[in-house]
Amino acid sequence: MRSILLVMIFLTTPAVADDQGQYKYREGIMQSIRGQMSALGEIMRNKVQAENTLTHARAMSDLAAILPGVFSKGSDVAKSETLPAVWEEPEKFKEATDEFITLTTEFLHAVEKDGDVSGTFRNLQKSCKSCHDKFRE
């Protein structure tokens, strides 16, 4: 009996560890996005370190591209700001992340071409807020 219990613990531990790891990874990605948005917001408002705008725009686009894959089922293992709606309404969440990906790409292209960065950045901010209103505590 004891050896069966040990085998069961051994076999179930990796799944829990993977889910916990996925949760921590997701939290890191979201903190990175938050940091990029904060830095870009300061650049847009104050024109501080404006020469770094392209670097931040690329980072946002790269982070957005991996975002849909960081909310895997089972990774809601700890108290976080993520609402259950992410997993209960996957189609709506996919729409929100797809929009975010599109808008980060548009922002990146605007920065690369010296286009309307303020308008595209406002759209990006609205996308963040919209997703947070539906899928974040």
- pLDDT (mean) for 47-62: 96
**Alpha carbon of 73 to those of 5, 78, 96, 131, 135: distances in Å?**
26, 13, 17, 18, 15
Q: Is the pLDDT of residue 11 over 90?
A: no
Give pLDDT, residue 17: 56
Give pLDDT, residue 3: 52
Number of Cβ within a 10 Å radius of residue 68: 16
Give every CB contact of residue 47 below 8 A, 6+ residues apart in sequence. none
Q: Identify how many contiguous H helices and E strands the chain contains and give both numbers.
A: 5, 0
- Measured CA to CA, the distance from residue 99 to residue 13 in angstroms comes to 36
Query: Which homologous superfamily is 2-135 in?
Result: Cytochrome c/b562 (1.20.120.10)
Give 70-96 pLDDT, tens digit per residue.
998 888 887 888 999 999 999 999 999
Residue 130 has which token pair?
A: 């919209």
Which comes out higher in pLDDT, residue 7 or 128?
128
Give pLDDT, residue 116: 81
Map out the domains of the chain as residue ranges. Answer: 2-135
Give pLDDT, residue 2: 56
